[in-house]
Chains A and B, each alone.
Chain A
Amino acid sequence: MKRGEMKDPRKTFGEAVLSQAEVDARIVVLSADSSSGSGLAPFKKRFPERHLEFGIMEQGVIGYASGLATTGKIPFVAAIAPFLTSRPFEMVRNDIGYMRQNVKIVGRSAGLTYSDLGPTHQSIDDTALLRTIPGMVVICPGDPIELVKAVKAVSEHVGPVYLRVGSPAIPVLYGSDEDCPFQIGRGIVMLDGKELTLIGTGAALPRALAAAEALRAEGVGVRLISMPTVKPLDRELLLKAARETGRIVTVEEHYVTGGLGGAVAELLAQERPTPMRMVGVKDRFPPSGPYEDVLRDNGLQPDQIAAVVREFLKA
């Protein structure tokens, strides 16, 4: 993958799962009439006996995944994000979280990426919900290289994981695999700076990067951190950023309540109170519309992020 190249995250995800499945026979895929839209058609073709179809049955599919995991399988359940998170939340909490089963829930088309389909299909509370579950790892990869590395890491991690994937094409942000030291629970410093730290996660990362580059061109010392793991948070990296830059701005395609913004604020409020701004969806149901317009409506375009930073530095 080359920096700047645009990749469909669902296709990248499907290829990554298939390549893990080639080396790990325990991996099975569960579809809720959702695997072709999740980039898993090649998996189904390659491993038809390991591709299990459940139809539009999003509560049942979580319980089945849990039961499969008790027999040593590693189930990946992939579907449109709200239908695997807010809809079957009790199944995710009890059957996977409380039962500590090795299931990977993949919410795709997460965030505002189904902008035109409206609030029933947008998924902006999934991180908040799932990170309340003890033992649940929550990962929102911000570029295709992070995504590929995340799929490998979550396959090898023993325990429940929520992996959050968008749907519109996203740019490759790293120059090479080596430039992206992805690890579960670790953030990645993409740009260094001393005045303020901007933290992006998931599909919001490229816009946070664009904002940071614009600000740096103006001479503002912005540090940019990619935070693919929202739970467990990279405590050391956050405290270091708070100590060295004194101001933190989070950026996410999610409610700031309970999302990355909320998670960072919870940690800093207790360990090192630090002024913050949170860019993301506020307490509202966003409108339906073209993706770029809905992002603007929620303050998530690079110029809007940069404006928040400038105002914050004056405050």
Chain B
Amino acid sequence: MAPESRGDIRELERRALAIRRNILRLIKAGKAGHVGGALSMAEVLAALYFRVMRIDPARPDWPERDRLVVSAGHKALVLYAALAARGYFPEELLDTYGALASRLPGHPDMHKLPGVEASTGALGHGLSISGGMALGLRLSGLGSRVFVVMGDGELAEGSNWEAAAAASHHKLDNLVVIVDRNGLQISGPTVEVMTYEPLEERWRSFGWATRRVDGHDIPAILKALGEAPFQKGRPSAIVADTVKSKGFRFAEGKVEYHYWKPPAEEIQQAEADLDEIERTLVG
């Protein structure tokens, strides 16, 4: 990837804001949702969908496309928000979130919406599915890559470590994990609930090459994603330090916003916070 100009960075920051606005739009339609871990991934998904991944929203089944699997399926809001922003489907569809038989269910369904690569929700499934995709792409002689967004709390699922071992055994260097290390899960801080720290060491001991980035710093995210695979013949794990509910200042870093059923005044506050971000993005 070419070095990023200031204008490129600013454009992706605006895309991340648009994703956050779409997340709020979804919440307004559905009256509730898993907002904290969606907002924390806005920059990463902006970078992936608007810069890094080789994709064509008009051809969501293009065999040579790169794939993104959101293993922590409760991050559905950021996936829907990014897919809509990238033009996979009309943004009006976001307003059906929460309705009966919506094409945007509480967890993503690959058969309902273009651009959704796997039906996730139960934790600890996405990495093995993604590993299978990476293996299948390689067997088919395609150079496509598979990106996987995982939660840090999700890492307690043992099935992830089966998948991680198999990925390095099979030398899947077309597989890139991004761990959303926002440090919080439903019951409290992840290090208190069930720690898998130090995360990078865990991944490295399973044969992965790792990087650590500030998950809200677009140049840093682009640099890490651009350098993957970090080592030939090894899968890559990027531990992204993030702030849960990033962008809604009143909710940032607060565990109670893992799932949010907002009163009207908090919706207004969220809108004001996003407007404030927009003012910083001029020029």
- State which residues 52-77 of A face B: CB under 8 Å: 52, 54-55, 57, 59-73, 75
Q: Is B139 a contact of A28 with CB atoms below 8 Å?
A: yes
Q: Is B118 a contact of A70 with CB atoms below 8 Å?
A: yes
Asked whether any CB of chain B lies closer than 8 Å to the CB of A99, the reply is yes
Asked whether any CB of chain A lies closer than 8 Å to the CB of B165, the reply is yes
Main secondary structure of the interface of A (DSSP, over half): helix
9 closest Cβ pairs, A-B complex: A67-B132, A63-B128, A71-B136, A60-B162, A64-B132, A67-B133, A68-B136, A68-B132, A67-B129
Contact residue among B117, B124, B169 (Cβ-Cβ distance under 8 Å from A70): B117
- Given A71-B136, A72-B140, A62:B128 Cβ within 8 A: yes
Chain A residues, Cβ within 8 Å of B130 = 67
Q: Is B125 a contact of A71 with CB atoms below 8 Å?
A: no
Asked whether any CB of chain B lies closer than 8 Å to the CB of A90, the reply is yes
Q: Is B134 a contact of A67 with CB atoms below 8 Å?
A: yes
Q: Is A65 a contact of B132 with CB atoms below 8 Å?
A: yes
Chain B residues, Cβ within 8 Å of A72 = 63, 136, 140
Main secondary structure of the interface of B (DSSP, over half): helix
Q: How far is the CA of A90 from the CA of B134 in the complex (A)?
A: 22
Q: How far is the CA of A68 from the CA of B132 in the complex (A)?
A: 4
Q: Is B129 a contact of A63 with CB atoms below 8 Å?
A: yes
- State which residues 2-51 of A face B: CB under 8 Å: 28, 49-50
**Chain A proximity of B87: nearest CB distance (Å):** 22
Question: Which residue numbers of B lie inside 8 Å of A, CB to CB?
Answer: 63, 109-111, 117-119, 121-122, 124-125, 127-137, 139-140, 142, 158-159, 162-163, 165-166, 169-170
Chain B residue at minimal CB-CB distance from A103: B132
- Given A63-B125, A73-B139, A100-B111, A91:B132 Cβ within 8 A: no
Chain A residues, Cβ within 8 Å of B122 = 90, 94
Q: Is B110 a contact of A63 with CB atoms below 8 Å?
A: no
Q: How far is the CA of A57 from the CA of B163 in the complex (A)?
A: 9
Q: Is B63 a contact of A64 with CB atoms below 8 Å?
A: no
Chain B residues, Cβ within 8 Å of A28 = 139
**Chain A proximity of B172: nearest CB distance (Å):** 10
Q: Is B136 a contact of A73 with CB atoms below 8 Å?
A: yes
Q: How far is the CA of A71 from the CA of B136 in the complex (A)?
A: 6
Question: Which residue numbers of A lie inside 8 Å of B, CB to CB?
Answer: 28, 49-50, 52, 54-55, 57, 59-73, 75, 90-91, 94-95, 98-100
**Chain A proximity of B72: nearest CB distance (Å):** 14
Q: Is B166 a contact of A54 with CB atoms below 8 Å?
A: yes
Chain B residue at minimal CB-CB distance from A60: B162
- Given A54-B166, A73-B136, A63:B159 Cβ within 8 A: yes
Chain A residue at minimal CB-CB distance from B127: A63
Q: How far is the CA of A62 from the CA of B133 in the complex (A)?
A: 12
Q: Which of B109, B140, B158 has the most CB of A within 10 A?
A: B140
Contact residue among A50, A63, A94, A100 (Cβ-Cβ distance under 8 Å from B132): A63
Chain A residues, Cβ within 8 Å of B162 = 57, 59-60
Q: Is A99 a contact of B128 with CB atoms below 8 Å?
A: no
Q: Is B128 a contact of A60 with CB atoms below 8 Å?
A: yes
Q: Is A68 a contact of B133 with CB atoms below 8 Å?
A: yes
Known A60-B128, A63-B159, A70-B129; 9 more pairs at CB < 8 Å: A52-B170, A55-B165, A57-B166, A60-B162, A63-B132, A69-B132, A71-B139, A95-B125, A100-B111
Contact residue among A49, A55, A64 (Cβ-Cβ distance under 8 Å from B128): A64
Chain A residues, Cβ within 8 Å of B63 = 71-72
Chain B residues, Cβ within 8 Å of A60 = 128, 131, 159, 162-163, 165-166
Q: Is B166 a contact of A64 with CB atoms below 8 Å?
A: yes
Chain A residue at minimal CB-CB distance from B137: A71
Contact residue among A49, A64, A73, A90 (Cβ-Cβ distance under 8 Å from B131): A64
Q: Is A99 a contact of B110 with CB atoms below 8 Å?
A: yes
Contact residue among A75, A95, A100 (Cβ-Cβ distance under 8 Å from B129): A95
**Chain A proximity of B35: nearest CB distance (Å):** 24
Q: Is A49 a contact of B166 with CB atoms below 8 Å?
A: no
Chain B residues, Cβ within 8 Å of A69 = 132, 136
Chain B residues, Cβ within 8 Å of A68 = 132-133, 135-136, 139
Q: How far is the CA of A91 from the CA of B162 in the complex (A)?
A: 13
**Chain B proximity of A72: nearest CB distance (Å):** 7
Chain A residues, Cβ within 8 Å of B111 = 99-100
Q: Is A59 a contact of B128 with CB atoms below 8 Å?
A: yes
- 13 CB contacts below 8 A, A to B, read A60-B163, A63-B163, A66-B129, A66-B132, A67-B118, A67-B128, A68-B136, A71-B132, A72-B63, A90-B125, A95-B125, A99-B118, A99-B129
Q: How far is the CA of A75 from the CA of B139 in the complex (A)?
A: 13
Q: How far is the CA of A60 from the CA of B119 in the complex (A)?
A: 16
**Chain B proximity of A67: nearest CB distance (Å):** 2
Chain A residues, Cβ within 8 Å of B121 = 94
